[in-house]
Amino acid sequence: MPPETRRIWPAPAKINLFLHIVGRRADGYHLLQTVFQFVDLCDELRLRPRDDDQIRLPRPLPGVPPQQDLCVRAAQALRAHTGCRLGVDIELSKRIPMGGGLGGGSSDAATTLLALNRLWQLDLPRDELAAIGLALGADVPVFVGGRAAWAEGVGDRLTPIELDEPWYLIVDPGVAVATAGVFGHPKLTRHTPPITISQFRSGSTGNDCLAVVSALYPQIDAAYRWLARFGQAHLSGTGGCLFVRFDARQAADVAQAQLPAPWRGWVVRGLNHHPLLAD
């Protein structure tokens, strides 16, 4: 058996270092400005190609029927796009909290596309994989592209960006945020004036979803206030995960040790490159 079929394929989480909503499209989707950075909190996939046309996920995630799982949908989309007749057994070890604004589902989809492109010997270029991924979710292209990015549009117009790679403490207050409910909220700030990359680099940026999310979910508001003791706290995506940056790992560990139960926390490293970028 070739070693690639026994390999663990990582799917990292992302954080949004800031998120501004600068407009709304005719179809209701919001136009964003954001910066995505990867972090070394990863889901793990094992993929074994099959000679028949079955796409199987023997251990589905709780609450996610296999046909809705983003790995399965990514494999199906890749087969539909290429006419490939092979199948795959997918084993997914989930570490990234679901529905927390860390992009875990999108990352799983992206890793599935990147890995099957190799295992099924399709040889599609990354931009073609990213276009297939965009139909599965707005955050899939940045994971396929593999570089930390300044993003506009619905998050699909990407410009690679080099950032510090500090430590972060990510906190999950354990509340599943309904993304559509946040974007549909009447009090959401929707017309923040666009900024430039250099304005982002000089600070003064936040997350336009924070006010609505804090009002809707008191646990997220409480976690935000707790985290703000250690530095500038941020909401990732539409939440509910929050993060604060640290220049030294030890300081992040000290903060994590004080995390009140039942919140969960991870000390992670910011990454400008996806672990599969060099593949």
Ligand X SMILES: Nc1ncnc2c1ncn2[C@@H]1O[C@H](COP(=O)(O)OP(=O)(O)OP(=O)(O)O)[C@@H](O)[C@H]1O
- Answer yes or no whether residue 105 interacts with ligand X by CB under 6 A: yes
CB atoms within 10 A of CB 271: 20
Residue 253 is among the residues annotated as catalytic for this protein: no
Which of the listed partners (ligand X, ligand CDM, none) does 133 bind, with a CB threshold of 5 to 8 Å by partner kind?
A: none
User: Least distance (Å) from ligand X to the CB of residue 33?
Assistant: 16
Q: Give strand pairing partners of 245.
A: 168
Does the annotation place 1 within a ligand binding site? no
Give the one residue of 111, 205, 214, 238 binding ligand X; rule: CB under 6 A: 238
Give the distance, in angstroms, between the CA of residue 208 and the centroid of all CA atoms in the same chain: 18
Q: State how far the Cα of 5 lies from the Cα of 49, in Å rounded to an integer.
A: 7
Pick from 80, 83, 108, 42: nearest CA to 266: 42
Residue 69 is among the residues annotated as catalytic for this protein: no
Nearer residue to ligand CDM within complex by CB, 68 or 121:
68
- Answer yes or no whether residue 149 interacts with ligand CDM by CB under 6 A: no
Which of the listed partners (ligand X, ligand CDM, none) does 32 bind, with a CB threshold of 5 to 8 Å by partner kind?
A: ligand CDM
Does the annotation place 57 within a ligand binding site? no
**CA triple 16-14-162, angle to 5 deg:** 75
Q: What residue spans of 30-69 are helical by DSSP H?
A: none
CB 245 within 8 A of CB 177: no
Q: State how far the Cα of 79 lies from the Cα of 5, in Å rounded to an integer.
A: 18
Give the one residue of 43, 69, 108, 139 binding ligand CDM; rule: CB under 6 A: 139
> Of 43, 108, 139, 208, which one is the catalytic site residue?
139
CB 243 within 8 A of CB 170: yes
Catalytic positions, written as ranges: 14, 139
Contacting positions for ligand CDM (CB under 6 A): 16, 28-30, 32, 34, 101, 106, 137-139, 154-155, 179-180, 183, 237-238
Binding site for ligand X (CB under 6 A): 61, 64, 68-71, 98-106, 108, 139, 179, 237-238
